[in-house]
Amino acid sequence: MTTSGAGSNEEESRIRVREDRTIARALQILQKRASLPGEVLGGATQGALFFRLRLGGEDREHFEVAFLNTQFQLIAVERLFSGTIDAAEVHPRIVVQRALAHNASTVLMAHNHPSGSLQPSASDRAVTARLKAALDTVDVRLLDHFVVTTHEVVSMASQGMV
C-alpha cells in the first residue's frame, strides 16, 4: 500500500529525471553551437560560459585552450592536458605548438577545479605567467585564463593575473 507522500515523492523523482535529461540535452546543444568555428569569444562573459559548459561537470582537472583569429573568432578548441582530482601538468611548449599549428593570433585558456574552489592557486598564477611569456615570443596574445567550477567561473584577467 502506497501512502500519498510516497507517491508524491516518486512523481517528483520522475519529474526531476526528465528535467535533468532536458537540461543535459540543452547543455549539449549550447556546447555544440559555442564550439562552432567562427563563433566570437572575445569577451570574458562568452569565454566563461563557453568553458563552464565544457569543463564544469568534470571530476578530474583538465586544461583547454580556445584558439582565436584576429577577430576573436574561434578557430578550434582543444583539451591539451588532463590530470588528477587536483592537478594537471601543463607544458607551455605544447600550447605554443598548437597555437602556431592553428595560426591563432589569440588564445583563451581554462582549467577546472573539481574541488569547487574558485581561487586561482599559486601554481595557476605561475603557469599563466609562463604561458603568457612563451606565447608572447611568437606574437600570440593570451586574452584570459579561466578557473572553472561546476557553477562558477573566475577570469584571471579580470583579477589582473594575465
DSSP 28-64: HHHHHHHTSTT-B--SHHHHHHHHHHHHTT-SS-EEE
pLDDT, one tens digit per residue, over 84-116 is 988 899 999 999 999 999 999 999 999 999 999
Listed in sequence order, the residues at least 6 apart from 80 whose beta carbon sits closer than 8 Å to its beta carbon are 63, 64, 65, 90, 94, 95, 98
Q: Percent of the chain, pLDDT > 90?
A: 57
pLDDT, one tens digit per residue, over 112-154 is 999 999 999 999 999 999 999 999 999 999 999 999 999 899 9
Listed in sequence order, the residues at least 6 apart from 83 whose beta carbon sits closer than 8 Å to its beta carbon are 60, 61, 62, 63, 89
Burial of 122 (0-12, 13-18, 19+ CB in 10 A): exposed
**What is the residue extent of each domain of the chain?**
1-34, 36-155
CATH superfamily membership of 36-155:
Cytidine Deaminase, domain 2 (3.40.140.10)
pTM over 0.85: no
pLDDT over 90 (residue 41)? no
Q: What pLDDT is recorded for position 45?
A: 80
The answer to whether 77 touches 66, Cβ cutoff 8 Å, is: yes
Q: What pLDDT is recorded for position 146?
A: 96
Which residue has better confidence, 34 or 132? 132
